[in-house]
A and B are shown apart, each in its own frame.
Chain A
Amino acid sequence: MSSATTPKEKRATSSWNSIKNDLIAYAFMAPYLFLFIVFLLLPAFVGVYASFTKWGIIGEPKWRGLRNYTKLLNSEIFIESLQNTLYFVVLAAIPLIVLGFLLALLVNQKLRGRNITRAIVFLPHVVSVAAVGIIFQWILERSVGLLNYYLGLLGVYPPINWLGDPDSAMPAIAITTIWWTVNGNMIIYLAGLQDIPEDLYEAAKIDGAGRWQELRFVTIPMLMPVNAFVIPLTVIACWRVFGQVFVMTRGGPQGSTFTVAQFIYETAFVKFDMGVASAAGVILMLITLSFTIVQLRAMKVI
């Protein structure tokens, strides 16, 4: 721009520049935002909308108001699936968090072989749930399974019918899940442990703290920010449990492992009742969101 510009023109140029700047920014983001909107944001809203309709695999949705929700809340099968999932969350989420932390402490010690132990514990992370499920079906087999053989040596008799007995099926799914996914939490806690400044431990040492006191007054408080995301993500993942159940028990025996995700699968993709399945999805979302908010509030994060 060679000629002198009046203040008015200048403002116009700068606002044009800022619009141009915005356009460039959005042009960069456009391909991702397209995917994000089409395959994530829009489906999320359509999912909520679908929950208020009767919608089959073909044809147009018909508005039903809250009837899908009242139907669900009066459905014994759905309520049981909620109870089963809650039971699974208690069985799996707590060990996933506590054990994840303890394993991180263990493999953070200066021990020979800690790297290989980390790698072994981490290995299931790359294995698909289908493979994990069938491996554990074999290990948990009642009469010739590996686990019952060794439990038998320890005097557990009669052998446990892990996946065939309504009382033990969910614990068996939880054991499988813990084996499969505890490594993620272990790695996050390990990173958290390695971020704790050395001088805190030195200060604790000077104050005469023992190892338990260090753990209690230094390590655990310093890991609170880590907890603030490990706990909600673990709990959300547990509420969504699907693959393990689908592969190992299909919700049985006697519906004892029938979870919410399993309910959604059957309702939407076996019975093709899309509206009711969506309502179940919305309820699942409300549960996980409210848990997350309550937990973050309790930890004073928000």
Chain B
Amino acid sequence: MAVSWRKDSVYRDGSLNYGRLALYAIMIFVAIIWGAPFIWMFVTSIKPDTEVISYPPTWWPNEPTLEFYTRLFNSFPMLQWFRNSLIVATITTVLTLATNILAAYPLARMRFRGRKIVLLIILSTFLLPGEILLVPLFLGMIKFKLANTYFSIAVPAAANAFGVFLMTQFFLTIPVELEEAGRLDGCSRLGLLWRIFIPLSKPVIATVAIFTFVRSWNDFFWPLIISNTDATRTVPVGLAIFVGRGLSMRFGVIMASAAAATIPAVIFFLLLQRYFVRGISTTGLQG
């Protein structure tokens, strides 16, 4: 029986049968489990006050309203938090990209003393739980009077080794001939990096940029510790310590805050999905 068989197809002809129906049922179930919390958050946030704790729960409000959003933005400096998050994530991302591209070039393409040791030390920090760093970083920031600055929130995150690793891996795949041709044309090493490596590495640069941005946007533990004024506080920290606290049953406003924080991230993701998938599947590192 010479039947062609594809690994991602359980049933050769794709017709509906019980096994395939079961798979569809499971898939729909999975989609509901992972999708429903988002929908529920959004629906709750546009309900009028009286409908939030209706029983049984309703999946669409009788009278949709943005009342909770008005209340949210009137009671909390959400826009300031957003601005802070944006500034912090931008600083981290730009700094990460600039330093990582430069560092990845010699690690991938030059022979120099100490290369293996540098790589080993950088990579070994993947296994280091970051909690050990919090106290020294905190004390250092206090000592240099840098607590509650964008610098203190944004810069330590740029020391993460994920981007260096990913870019080094990618630079290794760029053909040597291109580099040699560039050198014959009299390109300096910086010129090679700028004219050959960076243009060829756009996908991986985009992956690192997006990952770093989202990681920074969502970072929680460090910003929680190092910033305690609204002037620098980021969205997740503001959400966790103000909006979500002490408002036991006011879930409408709370869900409006969660939605306000989540919707930009979701749009961002939908536009740039493939870069996320690439970043995770090539490094195993998850944000």
Residues in A lying within 8 Å of B, measured CB to CB: 21-22, 24-26, 28-29, 31-33, 35-36, 38-44, 46-48, 50, 55, 57, 103, 106-111, 113-114, 116-117, 119-131, 133-139, 141, 144, 146, 149, 179, 181, 184, 187-188, 190-191, 193, 196, 198, 201-202, 205, 211, 229-230, 232-233, 236-237, 239-240, 242-243, 246-247, 260-261, 264-265, 268-269, 274, 277-278, 281-282, 284-285, 288-289, 292
Nearest 4 interchain pairs by C-beta:
A191-B281, A184-B286, A32-B103, A25-B112
Bound-state Cα–Cα, A144 to B224, Å: 30
Given contacts A109-B10, A202-B5, contact A243 B266 (CB under 8 A): no
Contact of B261 among A44, A122, A131 (CB under 8 A): A131
Contact of A289 among B9, B14, B56, B127 (CB under 8 A): B127
B residues near A232, Cβ cutoff 8 Å: 127
In this assembly, does B99 line the interface, its C-beta being within 8 Å of a C-beta of chain A?
A: yes
Bound-state Cα–Cα, A28 to B277, Å: 29
In this assembly, does B175 line the interface, its C-beta being within 8 Å of a C-beta of chain A?
A: no
Residue of A nearest to B265 (CB): A126
Given contacts A134-B257, A135-B37, A135-B41, contact A33 B244 (CB under 8 A): no
Interface code B211-251, partner A: CB below 8 Å = 1, 0 otherwise? 00010011011001100000000011101100110000001
Interface code B250-272, partner A: CB below 8 Å = 1, 0 otherwise? 01001101100110011011100
Contact of B136 among A47, A109, A261, A292 (CB under 8 A): A47
Assuming A236-B129, A246-B220, what are 8 further A-B pairs, CB within 8 angstroms?
A29-B103, A46-B140, A57-B139, A123-B38, A134-B240, A179-B34, A191-B281, A239-B129
Bound-state Cα–Cα, A181 to B31, Å: 15
Contact A103 B110 (CB under 8 A): no
Bound-state Cα–Cα, A40 to B130, Å: 9
Contact A138 B286 (CB under 8 A): no
Contact B106 A28 (CB under 8 A): yes
In this assembly, does B30 line the interface, its C-beta being within 8 Å of a C-beta of chain A?
A: yes
Contact B134 A281 (CB under 8 A): yes
Contact A129 B262 (CB under 8 A): no
The segment from B60-68, B71-79, B152-160 found at the interface with A is B152-160
Interface code B144-168, partner A: CB below 8 Å = 1, 0 otherwise? 0000000000011011110010000
Residue among B99, B106, B132, B221 with the highest chain A CB neighbour number at 10 A:
B132
Contact A122 B218 (CB under 8 A): no
Contact A122 B30 (CB under 8 A): no
Bound-state Cα–Cα, A139 to B36, Å: 10
Contact of A229 among B105, B214, B284 (CB under 8 A): B284
B residues near A39, Cβ cutoff 8 Å: 133, 137, 155-156, 158-159
Bound-state Cα–Cα, A160 to B254, Å: 22
Bound-state Cα–Cα, A130 to B221, Å: 10
Interface of B is mostly: helix
In this assembly, does B177 line the interface, its C-beta being within 8 Å of a C-beta of chain A?
A: no
Bound-state Cα–Cα, A264 to B136, Å: 13
A residues near B26, Cβ cutoff 8 Å: 106
Contact A282 B132 (CB under 8 A): yes
Residue among B160, B164, B257, B269 with the highest chain A CB neighbour number at 10 A:
B269
Within 8 A of A (CB), among B27-67: 27, 30-31, 33-38, 40-41, 44, 53, 55-57
Q: List 28 A-B contacts (CB under 8 A).
A: A21-B111, A24-B110, A28-B189, A31-B99, A32-B100, A33-B118, A38-B159, A39-B158, A39-B159, A40-B125, A50-B135, A55-B135, A55-B139, A108-B8, A110-B6, A110-B8, A114-B27, A117-B27, A121-B31, A125-B269, A130-B261, A191-B280, A198-B7, A240-B129, A261-B221, A274-B135, A284-B132, A288-B129
A residues near B286, Cβ cutoff 8 Å: 125, 181, 184, 233, 237
Minimum CB–CB distance from B188 to chain A (whole Å) comes to 10
Contact A106 B30 (CB under 8 A): yes
Residue among A28, A146, A269, A281 with the highest chain B CB neighbour number at 10 A:
A28
A residues near B100, Cβ cutoff 8 Å: 32
Bound-state Cα–Cα, A114 to B28, Å: 10
Bound-state Cα–Cα, A188 to B244, Å: 33
Residue among A29, A33, A201, A292 with the highest chain B CB neighbour number at 10 A:
A29
Bound-state Cα–Cα, A274 to B139, Å: 9
B residues near A130, Cβ cutoff 8 Å: 220, 235-237, 239-240, 244, 261
In this assembly, does B170 line the interface, its C-beta being within 8 Å of a C-beta of chain A?
A: no
B residues near A57, Cβ cutoff 8 Å: 139, 142
Contact A137 B112 (CB under 8 A): no
Residue of A nearest to B121 (CB): A41
Given contacts A31-B99, A130-B244, A138-B44, contact A277 B280 (CB under 8 A): no
Within 8 A of A (CB), among B104-127: 105-107, 110-115, 118, 121-122, 125, 127
B residues near A141, Cβ cutoff 8 Å: 251
Given contacts A144-B53, A181-B286, contact A128 B236 (CB under 8 A): yes
Contact B220 A35 (CB under 8 A): no
Minimum CB–CB distance from A73 to chain B (whole Å) comes to 18
Contact B220 A146 (CB under 8 A): no
Contact A123 B269 (CB under 8 A): yes
